[in-house]
Each structure stands twice: as C-alpha cells, then as structure tokens.
Structure 1
C-alpha cells in the first residue's frame, strides 16, 4: 500500500527547530505569544497527561497553553463548558448530556443521516457541469444539518454560524474579530435557548432545559455555553474529516475499491483516517496543578503542557509505518478524540456520519476525482482545526 501524497504541514504554534512534531520526550517550547510550555509528542506521554489528575483542563488557569497567542477577555456570560472542567464538576456535567451521544441513540439517527447524505449527493450529481466544490456542497452542509437537527438549531442560519466558527478557529483572526464572533454566536444561542424555555422542543437543547434545577439563570448560561461548543465542534470537525478523508482515499484506489466491495471495512477506514489527520491537535492541552513526572521528565505545578495528538498518532512505537494509510490497520488506539475522562463527547456521532458518507459517496460516485494537484488545494494550515477551505472535484 502506497504512502499518501504529502499533505501541507499545519501551522506550528511554537518556535523552534520543528523537531517537537516528531515523537520524543517532553521538551520546552515557546508559543507565539512568548509563553513557555512543555510539549508532549509520544503516544504514551500524551495519554499519561490526559489521565493524570495532576493536570487540569481549566483554561482560565495561569499558564494554560495558548497556541494562538491572542489575549481574549473573560466574559462572565460564558460559563465553563465540559472541556474546561475538572473533577468533581466535570463528571455530573458530562453525564447530564452523555445520554444524547450513546451508540444506541446515534445508531437510531442512521437512517436520517443516510437521507441527508443522499439528498446532498442527489443535488451534486444533478449538476450538468459534473463538477463541484465538495466542501461547500457536501462536506460542510451534511454535518451542519445533522448537528442542527440534533441540537434544535435552525439550519436556515447555517451561513451565520459557519462564518462565526471559521473566525473563531482561524489563527489569523484578530483578537477583536474573535471577540465579535464569540459574542454574536453566544447572543444567537442565548435567544434560541430562551425561546425553547418558553416553548419546549424535543431536541438536545429542549431536553437539557427539562433537566433545569431551581437556579435557572446559571443553568441557562451553562446551556448556552454548551450549545456554542456543540454547534461548532459538531459540524466543523466532521466536515474537515470528510474532505481530508476523501482526498486521502482517492490517492489509494485499491483501498477505495476494497471499501466498495466490503462495506464492513469502512469503520476501520474511518479510524485510520482519524489517526492520520488528528485534526484538532491542540484542544487537549493541560496545566499541571501538582508536581509530577511524565515519561521521565519532571513537570512542576503551574507549568503548561501542549499535547501534540498528531505526533502521538504517528508514533512508530505504537503504529508501524505511521505515515502510510492502511484501512485494515485497526487503529482504534488512536487519540484523535482525546483520551480519558475528556474524550470527545461526540465521537460516536462523528463515526456514524463518516461511515455513512464514505460508504455512500464512493458507491454512488465511482468516478469521483479531485480536480487539482495537491499543491493547489486550499488547506486550513492556519486554523486550530485542520482541513480544507474548498475541494474541487468532478466525476
């Protein structure tokens, strides 16, 4: 099986010789804003950091890694979400919404996800030009519509929240642009949650409202913050995996043919693509709250640790020939969704969507091809979440 044609490197948030992107012991790096933190790149070290109670997820803590270098004011209306909480607050907050993302519940969404995928492929294939931007016409709208229906967010507003998400995730956005986008998205979902409180709906937001305790103001603000997190993460990450995965698989016609011949291989292919790209590499960073040792290196209380998931998922000590895409690898031990108590809440949803997308797209569009050389594709090498801005295809 051939190696994938080289994808452009994603933006590096730290200064140095670049060697930290290769698996090795923890080393000190300096981030864009001048902050000095540890970088963990080995698979075992990253997993150790993500499970050791000596490390905190509290992004408001001094010296929590800030890869963007931007200084954003703390707005009291933005309550800490799941990814920012430590025990004992984290457990109850996660359990309150975990039931929405069980394998059983999301499997029941399968037929609707299939319908959404088919409808968007129908529209794309009906074009006389037999060309499309796969990102704009398929990869982005499919998960956007799915997460909108799950949350109870009007899909008619997708242009607004997709634009706001793009600003928030771009490392080129200024502090003022990020603040304005965050405020606009928060205000939008604040109004939506308020409307659902007055007129309950049968969706994730509506069901969370039904769980409210006596202190409704705090519950309201916490739900607004959770909704912001789920709306951004629920469409942006999966959209990027669809486009990146399509490019990677089309470079391996033998593997695409294997998936067509035996769809039972698709779940393994999804895991391998997740491992290969690890698109949200820096969101699992931590700060030490006690002295501890990781991989033989002492980390002092108060020191930040940048966890390099992409490097960890290419650790040759764990993955043989890690630069090669192999849909039969069986790479379920990857950490593309993080690891430990904070492992991505929506991972089951992402898996279902990606499996339906790749099964359906390669079966229905057997002549699909990328209409540009790799060097001309528009990659998000400037974003917190790696992906493609656009992807010209034909069939």
Structure 2
C-alpha cells in the first residue's frame, strides 16, 4: 500500500518515528532537517492571522439574523473559562497529593509581568492594535477585533461583495489545506531536531515534575473535559474527545504553538460538521484565551517553588492561585513556552522574589520539551472539543466526518 495514500495522522506518526530514529542515530543532520520543521511552523504562523481575519469577517458579514450563533459563541467562551479554572483546580489537588521540590540553580532570562493588571493591560492593548501590525505580528486578538468590526460593517454591503469576501476566505483556506499536507514532513524535522539536541538525559533530573505536569493534563483531557462536555450535550463525549486528541492534539504536540495549530483546528471543526459561523470565531479566540494547559503549568511550578521554600499554602490561597493562574493563562502567548514567563506572576502571591521565580522558569525550560508539548496539545484540542459540545446542544446530529 502506498503510504502517501494513508490518512494524515498515520503519516504524522510515521514522521514522528522516523524523526526520533534519525535524531538518535544521525544527530549531525539535526540542523538541516530541523529547518523543515521550522519552515512548516513558520508557514502555519504566516497564514493563520490572515485566515482568522478573513474567516471571521466573512462569517459575520454573511451570517443570518438569528442570534443563536452569537449565544453559542458566548457559551463556548464560558466553557473556556470554566475549563481553564477547572484545570488549575486539578493542578492544586494533584500538587497536594504529589508534592514536588525542585533544585533552584540557574537564573533564566526574561521580563515577566509583575501584576495581574499588567496581563490585563497587555490584553486590552492587543485588542486595539493597528490591523496591519496585528497581521504582521500575529496578534490574534487584534485580528479578531478588526475582523468583528469589519464583519459587522460589511453586513450592509451588497451580496456580490459578500460573495467575493467569502471567495477570498475560501482561497486562503485552500492554501492552509496545502500547508497542512506538509505536516508529516515538518513534524519529522521537528522531532529529529528535538531528539538530537535535547535527548532524554536532560529530563532525567526533573522526571517527577514533568510526570506530574503531564498527569494533570491527562486528567483534564480524559476526565474533566469529557465531564464538562457530557453536562452540556448529555451524550457520550469520548468519541469526539479522542478524535480531537488524535487529529488536533498530535500536531499541536509537535508544533508547540496554539497559534500555528489554528488552521488544523479549523479544518477539524469543518470535518466534524460544526457550524462555520461558530467555529470561525471560537477557534481563533480559543487559541488565545483557552489555556487549560498553561494554567496547569503555572499552578504546578508555583506550588513546587512554594513547597521547596517551605511556604504553607492555605485553602484560601490555593483558590486564589487558581483564579490568578487562569487569568495569567489567558494572557499567555500562543507560542512555544509562552506560559513559563507568567510563573513569576503567580509566585508573587506567595511573596516569592522575582529572582527565585525566574529560577523556577529556568527549570520549566529544562522540561519544556515535554511540558510545553503536552500543554499545547491540551490547549488546542480542547478548543475543538468545547466548540463541538456547544454546537451539538439540542437534537442529536451526526458529525460530517462520520
């Protein structure tokens, strides 16, 4: 059988296996082969802002007068918030059951925000960014703001203009599909470079901490998310949960970028038969604010630092940490390791100095090859899971891909 005729996921798994073998046996090829991975991620990042702006603009301009999709979009955003806070709660409980201590040695570089207001201020300024700069810098909040405003304005435009707008959006979507076909090759390069340059020995010293982080994310992905979806649609949630983990989570695991995975999620949402008017808004928003994995990372690393320093964590403080972690996670960028520099923000709740907190960030970077990959897989796949759940409220409907 011709492997080129296999589905995308089997091809990606083959790319993962070949990349791992090549990285272990031929480390000298890591740099040239790694270029394939960087080019793949770069292409996704390049097309994603334009795709988001055109899809949202076209969806709003062409949407019907019914307010049902607006209400569903709001409900999806509420699920994002519930899921992110729930993830932080899971992280607190798991950290209490399996307390961690970490070696605070090297100080990492960076300038983290010093208060929750800094995160909120950054979000507000991203919302009002210049549209050209938003496209160039990959500011999805800015792209969404202008897409929504222009989409509302274009509702008054002629039918011909709206059709042309939809044609333009469809054209960019076709480009995205071509890029996604290169995923097996790109992920092959990413895995090869990671295995050759990092290896497993670098993670051995922090295996317990990495295992706790991944364990929390698995609990959220396999227990919390299905429970939330079941409460919304009152049907077995696991088929769609597993499909989203397979088709969105795998690519997000290796690209390590929620922003780069937006085209993959949009394609998956269409395959699942979700309303385009819903997913064209909620998927891009989710890549920015639905950060359950980031909330877990922030909470676990903060509590590990507190435990290492012998700081007692009360129930009230733990609950406050969940809220701060959720808010901080919403301000995390959709790029690799974007959540780590928000750890000092949560550490400040316990009076931990910035210098010590940045050492915790350094530990995070050591295990980021596992932590950030699992985090992004959870974040990105959850975007589609919650959007699907809200879209399926009401009478039973069969996904388009079934």
TM-score, normalisation: structure 2: 0.28
Decide which structure has greater helix share. 2
TM-score with structure 1 setting the length: 0.28
Considering fraction of residues, name the structure with more strand: 1
